[in-house]
Copies of this chain bind each other. A is one copy, B any other.
Amino acid sequence: MTPAPAPAYVPAPPPHVRILVCDDHTVVRAGLLALLGSAPDIEVVGEAGTGEEAVALAAKLTPDVALMDLQLGPGIDGVEATRRISATGVRVLVLTTYDTDADITRAIEAGATGYLLKAERPEELFAAIHAAAQGRTTLSPPVASRVMAQMRSPRPTLTDRERDILGQLAHGLGNREIARALFISEATVKTHLGRIYDKLGVDTRAGAVAVAKEQRLLP
């Protein structure tokens, strides 16, 4: 893990961290730039307003850490950007508003090094950036709690097909309509629905839609 043998007792040779800021909200991004500019050991080397920009800039600038919002308007979303950027070896520190189970799980699976909420204190953000630069992970307390809870009782994992049915269901379609929309028989729709109810812990279509919207299981 230590490619170059460090001389004795030099805890952090380069306390200087180069970061890339990605947030689709211009005001927020400008705010972050102004805020991070006040930290002498942090240098913002680039900023992106979309996932595509972030991926391109991360590859070009190879920052120590990419600060990534999960919510990124149109184009590829924060999760996908996180996946691609972290695949290149650049650490990704997620900084977002959402503490939903689904978002957290997907971000972690995508390779995020840390997951911070925007409600966090700025000092925590600074600390997390340095931590991420060294590969250490930082989680906001609420996020940590949810991660723990999730380990204990894993989230309902819907299959692709089940998500298809759920998507149609959320449009208020009946079984026959769903069947026609997906080119399958009505019986198959009912079979899938039954399993969806099981996994979501409900027993009605309306309940399934409510849970799906609640846990952001649909696009």
Contacts and interface: CB of A to CB of B under 8 A. Distances in A.
Nearest to A197: B172
Contacts of A15: none
Given A206-B170, A209-B206, A34 B38 contact: yes
Nearest to A119: B25
A118 B118 CA distance: 14
Interface residues of A, number: 42
B207 A119 contact: no
Contacts of A28: 28, 31, 118
A122 B213 contact: no
A100 interface: no
The winner among A31, A118, A205 for most chain B CB atoms within 10 A is A31
Interface string A117-154: 11111100100000000000000000000000000000
Contacts of A121: 26-27
